[in-house]
Homo-oligomer: A and B are copies of this chain.
Amino acid sequence: MREVAIIGVGMTKFGELWDTPLRDLFATAAAECLEDAGVEREKVQSAYIGCMSGGLFVGQEHLASMLTDYAGLKGISATRVESACASGGAAFRAAWMEVASGMSDFVLAGGVEKMNDGADATYCLATAADQEYEVYNGVTFPGLYAMIANAHMEKYGTTPQMLAQVAVKNHANGALNPKAQFQMKITQDTVLGAVRVAEPLGLFDCSPVTDGAACVLLAPVEVAKKLGKPIVKVIGAGHATDTIALHDREDLAAIPAVGEAARRAYEMAGVGPDDIDVAEVHDCFTIAEIVCSEELGFFERGKAGQAALDGVTALDGAKPINTSGGLKSKGHPVGASGIAQICELTLQLTGRAGERQLKKKPRIALAQNMGGSGGSCTVHILEVEQ
C-alpha cells in the first residue's frame, strides 16, 4: 500500500445556516479545500462523502453524484458512505484506501449534514440507534449517553463537575475558532445550572444541531512532495464496529469499538497513546469525550474526568483534546464531523490553527470519530514531516 498525505483542507462555518442548502454547504467546503491544496478540479478522480441522513433531514439521497456535480466535479467516481455520526471518518477511511491501493492519485474525502431544515432532528438522529429495540421503546441519544454517564459515575466516581469541565474547555477552544457554531466561553455554573436533558446531562453537556460541511484532499506522499506541500501523512487507520444497541453491551461505562479501532490504528502506525501530541475526540456528549479518551489509552479507566478538571486536556495542557472546540462548541453536523476533525488536526500539524494553535507545534495527531452510542468508530493517526 502507498503512503498517503493530506494536501488540502476546507470547511464551511458550522452553525444554523438556514439560508444555505445541502449542496451549497458541500460545494463551499470542496472549493476551499481544492484552493488550499492548489489542485485543479480536473485532477480529482474520486470522492467519498460522509452523510448520515440526507434522506430524513432534507429528502435527498443519491448524494455523492449531486454534491460532486455542484462542486464542479461532474463525472468522477463518487460514493456516499454512512456510519451515523462516524460517516465522515468512514469516508476518510475509504478515500485513504483508494489512494493507498494505487487506484487513484487525487481523492476527495468530504462530509456534510444539513440538520436545520425543518425535520425533527431528534427523530432523525435516533435512527442511528436500534430502531426496533431501542427507539421503539422511547429512548433517544441523550438518554443513551445518560445511561453511559450514570454507569461511569457509579463505577469510577466521575462527577458532574468533571463532565462540565469538558464543556467549559471545549467552549474555551471554540471561542478561538472563527468557524465554530458557539464562539463564547462558558463556566462550570453555566453547565451545571442549565436545563436538564437526561440526568446527569444538561443542555451544555450535549453537542448542538448543526449545518456544515468539511473536505480534505488526499494524494500519495510522493505526489504531495512534488507539489511542494507540507507532508501530513496518514500513518494509522483503524475501524471497528459493535452492537448498535446499548443493552447488548457488557459494560455501559466502556465503549469497546473505540478501544478496538484505536488498537488497530496504533498497530498500523507503530505508535502508542503517549506519542499523540493532540487529538480530536468525539464529544457528542461530555461523557463521550471522557470515555473515549480512556478507550484511546490517553488516561487510565476512570481517570479522564479528573484529567479534564486538572487542565491536562486544555489548550495549554499536556494532552490537548478538541482544540477546535470539538463537537460541543464547534458544532456537530453529523456527517461532516469526522472530516472536520481531520481539518483541525492538519491545521495544527502545519502551524495554521490561528489563535488556537498549540504553542509547541505537534508532530503526531489522532482523530476519533464515533457512530451512535459506539456502534462504529474510526481512528486515524496523522504525522507531519518536519
A: which residues have CB within 8 A of B? 1, 21, 23, 46, 52-56, 58-66, 68-69, 74-84, 90, 93-94, 97-98, 100-103, 124, 127-132, 135, 239-244, 248, 257, 260, 371-372, 375-376
Contact = CB atoms under 8 A, between A and B. Distances in A.
Contacts of A93: 77, 79
A339 to B, nearest CB: 15
Nearest to A47: B241
A354 to B, nearest CB: 33
A83 B62 contact: yes
B241 A75 contact: yes
Q: DSSP class of A's interface residues: helix, strand, loop or mixed?
A: mixed
A103 B97 contact: yes
Number of copies: 2
B62 A84 contact: yes
Contacts of A129: 62
A375 B62 CA distance: 8
A219 to B, nearest CB: 16
Given A69-B243, A101-B101, 8 more contacts: A58-B131, A60-B130, A62-B244, A62-B371, A77-B93, A79-B82, A80-B82, A97-B97
B97 A64 contact: no
13 contacts: A53-B55, A56-B61, A62-B84, A62-B244, A64-B83, A66-B130, A75-B257, A77-B93, A77-B240, A78-B376, A79-B81, A79-B83, A97-B98
Contacts of A84: 61-62, 65
5 A-B pairs with the lowest CB-CB distances in the bound complex, closest first: A101-B101, A62-B84, A77-B239, A65-B375, A62-B128
A369 to B, nearest CB: 12
A81 B80 contact: yes
Contact of A82 (B82, B135, B243, B248): B82
Given A64-B83, A65-B371, A83-B79, A55 B56 contact: yes
A80 B56 CA distance: 16
B1 A101 contact: yes
Nearest to A102: B1
A127 B61 contact: yes
Contacts of A76: 240-241
